[in-house]
Structure 1
């Protein structure tokens, strides 16, 4: 067989050169640079994507994401909703090959744990000095987006205000037996925080008293709802009349969904959860993640979310005059909690609760 012609050689070389160029382009780094900048992201179609893991309520997601898409129509936003603890476990499991770019909605304890495990990028946003030190990571690996006061929730059609527990310990009264419904604890960052706080307030150095307290609460608990939607449904149907939950979601259900819910603030103080966000370490679309980061903390959006979705911002530079009336009328007394200790002990405490207390309180 004769050798290929000169023209054929040129054609084949052209094909090979084009394939090599495409291969090199596909191997380019689109995750941006390391350090405290947003990175250049590398551009290209791959960068025009943003994968968000969120524990936010659907009402919040539906209010925020369309606004972000309107500002950044070139970014394909993909949102996956799950519990805050589930996000931690998923990001941990994907550490070698991160699938998410941005973690939206995590408890302080979960974010501290994630930061300590090297799961979050150190990035310093433009609003860094507007958020107090107690609401952010010292190495800029996460920032608190809002404050979530944890309170007593009740069905206002089934219970008069004067019949609602005035403090945490009153929940243990036998008259509330079978009237309490709790959101499944282990999958919920909110519930893990509340339960860990109940142990901490007894004695953070010796959890025994806290375990006894939770055992008594378990004895009064009718059931553990699998998710917030299930919890709301059961409370609305008066299958139970009391729960423990965060103030923001209670107000959303009460004011927006017209559910018969209200809240009581325990007199001894409440755990005020710092609910935060962060960029996942090794995010494939870091530039897009940083755009969303900045967008979330925009002052105009923070005021809108306070007005419409009852969020309490961590930014201290927003004038109270711009904030809604409900915000001005709320007085919060925080429980004195060392959140670093909570982050270190939460897993141990909750594992013990799950294995030795859940469903055994009445026995």
Structure 2
């Protein structure tokens, strides 16, 4: 009897140890593998379309999405470098991603579709890939201005007749706006930015307000608190076609900065496997085509056909050295913020 009790005690003790182990570190590891944290600058409509489809394909992965401007994402990822909180970075201009890669914030990963992305649209070490091409254009309220009345090129934005008609999304938190403003400096001469600064001073004199975020920009433009802005083509089309906002665009005659908007895996991501799954899913042909048709994305993949909604629009690019932009953008934007913003009316 004593031997039987002793044997039963050993068995129960062993069972308890196995149960405790299962409830301890092992389950944490399993839960980490089934989680995915995404930092994104993408429009909510795009996120709300892609993420549910991804979760349908991978129901065991819990997805958390935090939305903010591309520059805000860079600063956050930079601040979290020692203990990364994000796994996947979804959406930023190539200059922002180039900076992140140079600072060791992005993981090298060569997905199966890598050869479909042209060399100029990706990092040589596969630390980021271009998802789409994003022309930056002139935006206007079509209830206030006829197409022929809106500025047809960048320099026309400086015309005195547009004074207090221009609304600009807050520049520093926005990767899009930083690139538009930096492009305006570059086109005047990157070696000596003074001409570019002078151009932005004249634009500031015509600017009524710098809005807090894109939502405020859309609301104020729709309420006719201003009639003009500069913004990316995709978001203008989303607001026009899906939200039925009274917006339209002018593709500048001299050309537009065409950003390569891309993605990457955060260096040291806790859920790298899930991030890779989302990476591959995002670039699947069906996903790319769906986003192109429904959300006006121009695919960076070379094997995808040009969207039908873009027919009749020539994607004429401004001649920009993006490596120079990546190096100079921070310096230029700090100068603009300190010496130009809101000083044109004084």
Taking structure 2 as the reference length, the TM-score comes to 0.94
State the alpha-carbon separation in 2 of the partners of residues 283 and 273 from structure 1.
Answer: 26
The residue correspondences of 1:1-363 to structure 2 (distance < 5 A) are 10=10, 19=20, 25=26, 44-318=30-304, 320=305, 323-363=306-346
CA distance in 2, matches of 1:21, 1:135: 45
Q: Using the alignment, how far apart are the partners of 1:329 and 1:231 within structure 2?
A: 27
Shift of 1:291: 0.5
CA offsets per residue over residues 259-318 of structure 1, 9 Å max, x none?
A: 110000111111001100000000011111000000000111111111111000000112
The Cα of 1:46 is off from its aligned counterpart by: 1.9
Q: Distance in 1 between matches of 2:40 and 2:342?
A: 29
Structure 2 CA distance for aligned equivalents of residues 25 and 157 of structure 1: 60
* Offset of residue 8 of structure 1: 11
Q: Deviations over 1:153-209 (max 9, x none)?
A: 000110111111111111111110000000000011100000000000001111111
Q: What is the count of residue pairs matched by the alignment?
A: 341
Aligned-partner Cα distance in 2 for 1:229–1:346: 25
* 3-state SS of paired residue (1:154): strand
SS of residue matched to 2:106: coil
Q: Is the 8 A contact 2:298 2:307 kept in 1?
A: no
Residues 136 and 158 (structure 1 numbering): CA distance in 2 closer, same or farther, change over 3 Å? same
Long gaps (5+) in structure 2: none
The SS at the match of 1:262 is strand
Q: Secondary structure at the match of 2:262?
A: strand
Single out whichever of 12-21 and 124-133 deviates more from structure 2. Answer: 12-21
Instruction: Please tell me the root mean square deviation across aligned C-alpha atoms, in Å.
Output: 1.8
Aligned partner of residue 46 in structure 1, secondary structure: helix
Alpha-carbon distance in 2 for matches of 1:123, 1:101? 13
Q: What is the distance in 2 between the residues matched to 1:14 and 1:56?
A: 49
- Provide the C-alpha distance between the structure 2 equivalents of 1:333 and 1:108, rounded to a whole number of angstroms: 18
> For the residues of structure 1 that align with 2:81 and 2:187, how far apart are their CA atoms?
34
